[in-house]
Amino acid sequence: MKQNWWKILGAVLVLYSIISGFIFPVPAQAILHETIRNLYFHVPMWFSMMTILGVSAVYSIKYLSNSKFDNDIVAAQAANVGMLLGVLGLTSGSMWARYTWGAWWVADVKLNGVAVSMLIYLAYFILRGSIDEEQKRARIAAVYNIFAFVLYIVFIMVLPRLNDSLHPGNGGNPGFNKYDLDSTMRIVFYHAVLGWILIAVWVMTLRIRTERLKRKTLFNE
């Protein structure tokens, strides 16, 4: 129980952010209206996705430095959960865009960044699938994971700052930063981010445990 406090905390925080996200008052804004509540659900997905993908990259580095197979399990499962969060973020963003921009998808640096991350991690899984030998697969996948992660960070950190974007928070568009000044929204948002990160880590640890057990039965340990 002592080790599980953060799981309870995560669940409580997410529950709180969902309930208060739907019933607390929000600033009335033209065009956005009530869709501004998407901030509580869409943005935390990206925060937790970046955290989880960061974990994946760190464990890939760890694998290269000590060749412990367990590190590879963590890296792969973290990438899996990261993809799931990416899909959730993409869906929530797409629905939001339908109601505010009038289209499911627009050509935009931020959206391109997401598409690229999806392609990178799909390629990562295909690479993993195409190598049979375990040690070799772990090593090659780790190298690709680090290589791709660094370039992906460059892609999403540098390029949006050089381009204008339709996305809130960029190039003169009404950004969420302005509404964050509304103190209730800010409080709920921070709780949501922390809660979703904890939930994402929880999902990841569950996946890692199942993978470890699968391996154990495989080797009859």
Partner 1 sequence: MIDQIKYLILKEFKLELRNKYALGGILLYVVSTVFVSYLSFKKIIVPATWNALFWIILLFASINGVAKSFIGETRGRLLYMYTLASPQAVIISKIIYNSILLLVISGLCLLVYSLFVGSLIQDIPLFLIVLTLGSFGFASLLTMVSAIASKSNNNFTLMAILSFPILMPLLIVLIKLSKNAIDGLENWDLNYLMVLMFINVIIIALSYLLFRYLWRD
- The smaller minimum CB distance to partner 1, of residues 149 and 189, is found at 149
**Residue 115 Cβ vs partner 1, minimum distance, rounded to whole Å:** 9
| Residue 143 in contact with partner 1, rule: CB under 8 A | yes
| Cβ-Cβ contacts under 8 Å for 197 (sequence gap 6 or more) | 10, 44, 47, 48, 51
- Scanning 5-13, 89-97, 139-147, 200-208 for contacts with partner 1 by CB under 8 A, the matching segment is 139-147
Interface with partner 1, residue 8, by CB under 8 A: no
DSSP state of 68: -
Distance of closest approach, residue 24 Cβ to partner 1, in angstroms:
39
152 binds partner 1 (CB under 8 A): yes
Q: Which residues contact 178 (CB under 8 A, 6 or more apart)?
A: none
Nearest to 111 by CA among 46, 184, 57: 46
Residue of 58, 84, 95, 159 that binds partner 1 (CB under 8 A): 159
31/34 Cα distance (integer angstroms) = 9
Under rule CB under 8 A, residue 166 binds partner 1: no
How many chain residues are in contact with partner 1, going by CB under 8 A? 30
Distance CA 4, CA 168 (A): 36
Any alpha helices (H) in the chain, and if so which ranges?
5-23, 39-66, 69-100, 109-129, 134-162, 176-180, 183-219
Q: What span, in angstroms and rounded, lies between the C-alpha atoms of 95 and 119?
A: 21
The piece of 47-55, 97-105, 132-140, 186-194 that touches partner 1 (CB under 8 A) is: 132-140
Site string for partner 1, 61-80 (x = CB under 8 A): ---x----------------
Binding segment for partner 1 (CB under 8 A), chosen from 46-54, 69-77, 100-108, 149-157, is 149-157
- CA separation for the pair 16, 23 (Å, rounded): 11
Should residue 147 be labelled a site residue for partner 1 when binding is judged by CB under 8 A? yes
Q: Which of 12, 150, 206, 213 touches partner 1 by CB under 8 A?
A: 150
Query: In this structure, what DSSP letter does residue 181 have?
Result: T
Q: Which two tokens stand for residue 3?
A: 């080790």
CB closer to partner 1, 99 vs 147: 147
Taking the C-alpha atoms of residue 75 and residue 218, their distance in angstroms, rounded to an integer, is: 20
Binding footprint of partner 1 on the chain (CB under 8 A): 64, 112, 116-117, 119-120, 122-123, 126-127, 130-132, 136, 139-140, 142-144, 146-148, 150-152, 154-155, 158-159, 162
